[in-house]
Amino acid sequence: TRKNYAAGQAHFHQWCMAERISLRRSNPIPEPVLCAYAAAMAGVCSGGTARSRLAALHYWHDKYGLAWKGSPRLHRILKSVALATPSSSARNERPPVTEAMLDEALRKLDPQRPFDVCVAAAMLTMFWCQLRLGEILSQTRRYDFKALPAVKGLRLRADAGGTLDRVTSALWLPRTKVERSGVWVWIAKHHNDPSFALQDHIKTNRLRDDDPLFAYRHDRSDDVIPLTRAAFLGRLNEIWSAAGMQRITGHCFRIGGTTALLRAGVDPEVVKMAGRWKSDSFLRYWRALDHIISSHM
């Protein structure tokens, strides 16, 4: 978000220089200037990009205690910019990870290699729990326990090695994109069961309670190394590309898990609660809509 806001503010300043508009940083941007700036993006970029750039300017006003001069006219212009989106600015929908892709990965991942066992556990947990990549995996090998889960935050159900009174596995996420103070995520049973994969992962990598949940033993040094996002996606894309399957990004797991649950006939409200969706925005991530509709009719 910080990177996008900085880019939006830089774009506005470049536009002002090109249009020879001089503004004082201590004064709010006048409403006519905001409208002219928004209108200049018609036919050039998508409506989402235009709204993001205006949001960056709005944030800058809030940061320095300046009055925001947005108006109904500005909102009407932004709607028109969205209608005038050029075809070159329309992004293709991100593909979902599918259950066939999970099966292919599990066939190719080496159950004797600690790194591959860790990748398999992270893959199944992220898919079936509709998780975001950044909620469980570190961007670097420097692990932030205030934001990412530790082994002690996992509660496996009874048949997967947990206490006898546990009928569902659970995972504590210290921080998410929405829940900044942490949230419990429930792990249900599936045919590719994340609970058993997690149990095998912790045993194979000999992880202790204070270790990162998704970490592996180095093949030579035996050190515990946090699984990074790049290593995780690189290993899976290597397998799927070799099998002629599509390459994916991190958010494709959340989309794929949502789609798989809906295709299986799970009530959309249950999917919404399980995925911690705060609104009905998850509806726009549905893929294979024809199968989902038929399973619910």
What CATH architecture is 99-295?
Orthogonal Bundle (1.10)
Tell me if 27 sits within 8 A of 66, measured CB to CB. yes
- The model's pLDDT over 264-285, given as tens digits with 9 standing for 90+, comes to 888 878 888 888 877 666 666 6
- Residues with Cβ < 8 Å from 221, sequence gap 6 or more? none
Q: Which of 200, 211, 209 is nearest to 123 (CA)?
A: 200
- The model's pLDDT over 93-150, given as tens digits with 9 standing for 90+, comes to 678 899 999 999 999 999 999 999 999 999 999 999 999 999 999 999 899 999 999 9
Measure the CA–CA gap between 106 and 114, rounded to whole angstroms: 14
Question: What pLDDT band is residue 90 in, cutting at 50, 70 and 90?
Answer: low
For 283, which DSSP code? G
Q: Which of 100, 95, 109 is nearest to 256 (CA)?
A: 95
Which position has the higher pLDDT, 39 or 292? 39
User: Interior CA angle at 153 toward 150 and 158, to 5°?
Assistant: 130
Measure the CA–CA gap between 123 and 231, rounded to whole angstroms: 12
CB-CB neighbours of 61 under 10 Å: 15
Tell me if 199 sits within 8 A of 180, measured CB to CB. no
- Which alpha helices (H) appear in 243-297, and where do they start and end? 251-263, 268-274, 289-296
Sign for the pseudo-dihedral over CA of 192, 136, 246, 115: negative
Q: Which of 167, 279, 267, 150 is nearest to 209 (CA)?
A: 150
Distance, CA of 280 to chain centre: 16
- The model's pLDDT over 5-16, given as tens digits with 9 standing for 90+, comes to 999 999 999 999
Question: What pLDDT band is residue 259 in, cutting at 50, 70 and 90?
Answer: confident
Measure the CA–CA gap between 198 and 200, rounded to whole angstroms: 5
Measure the CA–CA gap between 199 and 278, rounded to whole angstroms: 30
Measure the CA–CA gap between 37 and 16, rounded to whole angstroms: 8
Token look-up 């409403």 returns: 31
Amino acid letter, 110: D
pTM: 0.75
Domain boundaries, the chain: 1-89, 99-295
At residue 20, does pLDDT exceed 70?
Answer: yes
Distance, CA of 109 to chain centre: 23
